Amino acid sequence: MSFRRWRIAESDKTLSRRVAQRFGIEGFAAHLLTSRGFCSDEMISDMLGLHDDTAEFIDPFEIIDMEKAVDRIRRAIDSEEKIAVYGDYDVDGVTATALLYSYLESVGANAVYYIPDREGEGYGLNCGAVDALHEMNIDLIVTVDNGISAVNEVAHANSLGIDVVITDHHQEGDALPDAVAVVDPHRKDCVCRFREYAGVGVAFKLVCALEGDSFTVIENFGDLVALGTVADVVSLTGENRRLVRIGLQYLQESCRPGLSTLIELAGFSGRQIFASSVAFIIAPRLNAAGRLGKASHAVQLLITEDDEEATALAGELTAKNRERQAIEQIIDREVSEMLEKDRSVLYDRVIVIAGEKWNGGVIGIFASRICERYGKPCFIISYDGDKAKGSGRSIEGFSLYDAISACSEQLTGFGGHTLAAGINLRTENIDAFRQAINEYARERYPVMPSPELLIDCQLPPSAVNLQLYEASQLLEPFGADNPTPMIAVMGLKLTDIYGAGGGKHQRLTLERGGTVLTAMKFVTCDEDFPFRVGDVVDIAVTLDKSTYRGKDSLTLVVRDIRLSETHFDEINGDKLLFEKMMRGESLTEQERMELRPTRSVLGTVYRAACQGYSGESEVLGCRMKRVGVRYGALLTSLQILSEGGLVDFADDGTIICVEATERGAESGKISPEKTPTAMRVGYINN
């Protein structure tokens, strides 16, 4: 995971105490609410679920064009016209398709559903699909989770005599499609009270309008609404929160054979299902259908009433998910091999990595992983012949959409938003795109944004207990705009490190002021854990509860750990300066001096390399500063020693592995000034 600035939420203790007293809740829960901006009685009641769930939902007709959509669909039902529900291949689109199709079928409509192929057709309505639906004698297309930008495709449908009703939740473009109705709460001329629905949320509101009774619809389809809403990472505030809270209850004991079987295969049968369970366990299995197979199989899983078919489809999706994980591992290995040969891509402001015939359904997942790992905007591109497609992810403060818009000359197509985007381009233009987007970043961002870890509060170890976890659960479900609470505990002495899970995880014992805490650092092997017994560290943790033999206990899950002496701005500044040097950009004399190691520093770094090191480079930087070596000089020294063949210096951006080579051990005098890096920063002084 990338080196991140810790940002602790501001606290208004007076307001928190007032909220705690007003609503009879623990102070920690009150702090979470107020520090996240939920300050009014209405907002707090909504977040705590104090509103009666039998109260009316927001009127679906508040969404613009809803009445037009309902009138046209009802006319199609009454006239027995053939209706096609046109969805999308992700979980949001699949659940929205299943919801609307199931409802139409239940009221006797002549309906079919259509999910475009991710690889062959791509996202959204396309003219080829419209032609295919025309051949099926479709009279009306109703889109879910797509269509707001389908101006040409709707015009084509109109030319064939097919009416189109759009339901979507994405931002509109320069023009709206000429459809019978365009139901999208994000339309600029829509004045509805709540806009942040997922695609399945808009489909839910459409069915509520058709049925005239929201409660019947939520009873029948609440599980689908919760599933799609959580999976699409839309804001879990407002009505979305209520939809997910109710829907999770129905999902717990879903009456859909396919969904209940999938949940059982995921190991969640009989266990409480949280929003996090949906996001990380259930949704990826549904998504696997669209990534590696046919997304229509996921729809069929959700609508089937046949137990045998449900078992077969759930097994298929589970197998596809395992296949997806295997493909990710293959791509990960290939990327690691690329970086071993050429680390220069990691020094770019925007990371662009391309591979031949990488699975198009997986590159988005991998882009997210690379972005998280290195703390930089990233594009993963797959090319096949002369065509290439890429998926990008970003960090807060760097708009991918603005960046690719500025590089549009290198692309044949693009779309997305601030933090995620997709591109199409010719293979021959991949290098030109990498150069163009990095040039844009250089001109627009003199200092690139750095990733942040948002922490709700800092607490003394004595305040970290099971009651804290119980208080936090008042804010479930957690998700976008209401994340799982994160707390920081500073100045803890690490008294024990125990490898768990065959050395794949670390169980830590920490102490301060007589209070002892136990925490888990998952997915960190023994050799890559850079901390030692006796270190004084700060930890950022989330809270969980485990139960053993009927007894509950608190589990602290470490999300980040650092030496207490860490100074983010100094280390991050040195890192950015080192990367600037490695990109070959011109340096001022002051900048060269900050990076330039003395011969004495080189010797100190070499002796440290002889002892070996594996772990976060920032941790090594803190240790070396104790002996007078700044982080920038450390990185420069390692690069010089590596170029001289004296040190093996493998750096994937987050984990650095350093050891002296045999040549280094046998060599006599070092002549570092002859290496390329030494020549960049100037002569190495004695």
Q: Are 630 and 574 in contact (CB under 8 A)?
A: yes
Task: Give the Cα separation of 194 and 214 in Å (integer).
Answer: 16
Q: The sheet that has 351-356: what strands, in order across it?
A: 351-356, 378-384, 387-393, 420-426, 413-416
Q: Are 392 and 404 in contact (CB under 8 A)?
A: yes
- What average pLDDT does the structure give for the chain? 92
All residues at 6 or more sequence positions from 124 whose CB lies less than 8 Å from its CB, including other chains:
88, 116, 146, 147, 149, 150, 153
Cβ-based neighbour number of residue 46 at 10 Å = 17
Phi, psi of 283 (to 5 degrees): -60, -45
Task: Give the Cα separation of 126 and 433 in Å (integer).
Answer: 26
Residue 372 CB-density burial (10 A; 0-12 exposed, 13-18 middle, 19+ buried) = middle
Q: In the prediction, which pLDDT does 493 show?
A: 98
Q: Are 181 and 147 in contact (CB under 8 A)?
A: no
Element (H, E) at 250: helix 238-252
Task: Give the Cα separation of 279 and 270 in Å (integer).
Answer: 18
Orientation of helix 283-292 relative to helix 214-231, angle to 10°: 70
Rg of the chain in Å (alpha carbons): 28
What stretches of 160-213 show up as alpha helix (H) in DSSP?
Answer: 199-211
**Can you spell out the DSSP letters for 21-61?**
HHHT--HHHHHHHHHTT--SHHHHHHHHT-S-TTSPPPPGG
Task: Give the Cα separation of 151 and 158 in Å (integer).
Answer: 11
Beta-sheet pairing, 378-384 with 351-356 = parallel
Residues in the chain: 686
3-state secondary structure of 163: strand
- E strands present in 459-602: 487-500, 505-512, 515-521, 536-548, 551-563
3-state secondary structure of 234: coil
- Type of residue found at 326: A
Beta-sheet pairing, 505-512 with 487-500 = antiparallel
Nearest to 547, CA basis, from 271, 252, 265, 245: 271
Q: Are 388 and 382 in contact (CB under 8 A)?
A: yes
Residues 401-456 have pLDDT tens digits of: 899 999 999 999 887 788 888 899 999 999 999 999 999 999 999 899 999 999 99
Bond prior to 477 in cis (omega within 30° of 0) = yes
Lookup: tokens for 522:
């998952």
Q: In the prediction, which pLDDT does 663 show?
A: 59
Identify the bridge partners of residue 492 per DSSP, sorted by sequence position: 537
Beta-sheet pairing, 82-86 with 110-114 = parallel
Q: In the prediction, which pLDDT does 668 show?
A: 46
Lookup: tokens for 654:
């987050």
Q: Are 576 and 3 in contact (CB under 8 A)?
A: no
Task: Give the Cα separation of 193 and 235 in Å (integer).
Answer: 14
Task: Give the Cα separation of 126 and 154 in Å (integer).
Answer: 9
- Type of residue found at 504: K
Task: Give the Cα separation of 300 and 306 in Å (integer).
Answer: 10
Lookup: tokens for 388:
């290439």
3-state secondary structure of 175: coil
Nearest to 103, CA basis, from 163, 144, 56: 144
Chunk the chain into consecutive blocks of 10 residues (it has 686) and report each block's average pLDDT, rounded to whole numbers.
90 93 95 94 89 79 98 97 96 97 97 90 90 97 94 96 96 90 95 95 98 94 97 92 94 91 88 90 91 89 95 94 91 87 90 93 90 94 94 94 92 86 94 96 93 95 95 94 96 96 92 96 90 97 88 93 96 95 93 92 91 90 94 94 86 76 56 85 74
Task: Give the Cα separation of 566 and 618 in Å (integer).
Answer: 8
